A and B are shown apart, each in its own frame.
Chain A
Amino acid sequence: QVQLVESGGGVVQPGRSLRLSCAASGFSFSTHTMHWVRQSPGKGLEWVAVISYHGTDKYYADSVKGRFTISRDNSKNTLYLQMNTLKPEDTALYYCARDALVITGHHEFDYWGQGTLVTVSS
C-alpha cells in the first residue's frame, strides 16, 4: 500500500535551517508529482511547494519562495524540503502529499503522510 513517511522535523532557532525528508513506498514514486503542505497549530492547510515527477519543475508558495527548496531523489524514492532562514511563522506540521495527476488527470492530493513537526523558536 502507498506509504509516505516524513522525518527531519524538530525545534530550530529563527534564521537557522532544517531539511525534511519524505520516504515513499508502495507506488511508482518516479512517475508522480509530489507536494509539501503545512498546517500551523490549530490552523488550516497551506500548500508550500510542488516538484514534477522528473524533478525539473518546481513551484513555491509566496510565503516560502526564496527560502525553501524542494527536491527529490527518485533512486531513493525520497522527497526533500530544504528550509532556510526559518521564521517563527514557519512553525507547522509539514506533510508530504502525492499528486494524483497520472491517475485522475487532475491535481488533487490522493495520499498524505503523517507529518513532521517543525517548531521555530528562540
Chain B
Amino acid sequence: SYELTQPPSVSVSPGQTANIACSGHELGNKYVCWYQQKPGQSPVLVIYQDNKRPSGIPERLSGSNSGNTATLTISGTQSMDEGDYYCQAWVSGVWVFGGGTKLTVL
C-alpha cells in the first residue's frame, strides 16, 4: 500500500521559515493537500492541489510538490501556526494521509 512519510516534529523560531516535508513514491505525479489541526480541533484544509490556498488561509502558507517530496512552507511563522500538519494524496481510489508533523514555534 502507498505510504506518505512526514517528520514527527519540526521546530522553528518566530518569524522564521518552517518547511514540512511529505515523501512518497513519485508523489510529484499526484496532487497533494495539507491540513492543519490544532489541539482539540478538527483538521482544516490549508493547501490543496499542491499549492493552492483556500479562502482565509494566509499567503505565508505555501506548498510545492516535485519528484518524491511535497513541502509545506510557512514563512514568517507565528505562534498561531503551532499545531499538527498532515499531508494527503489520492492514490488509486484510496485517500492516504501522512503520519503528521507537530510544528512547534519556540
Contacts and interface: CB of A to CB of B under 8 A. Distances in A.
Interface of A: 35, 44-47, 50, 59, 61-62, 95, 100, 104, 106-110, 112-115
Contacts of B94: 47, 59, 61
A45 B48 contact: no
B15 to A, nearest CB: 28
A108 B32 CA distance: 8
Max count, chain A CB within 10 A of own CB: residue among B33, B44, B84, B100 = B33
B1 interface: yes
The binding surface of chain B is classed by DSSP as strand
8 contacts: A35-B95, A44-B98, A45-B86, A45-B88, A61-B94, A104-B49, A106-B33, A108-B88
Contacts, number: 58
Interface residues of B, number: 25
B12 interface: no
Contact of A106 (B1, B35, B90, B98): B90
Interface in B57-106: 84, 86, 88, 90, 93-100
B48 A108 contact: yes
Contact of A45 (B1, B31, B100): B100
A113 B42 CA distance: 7
B54 interface: yes
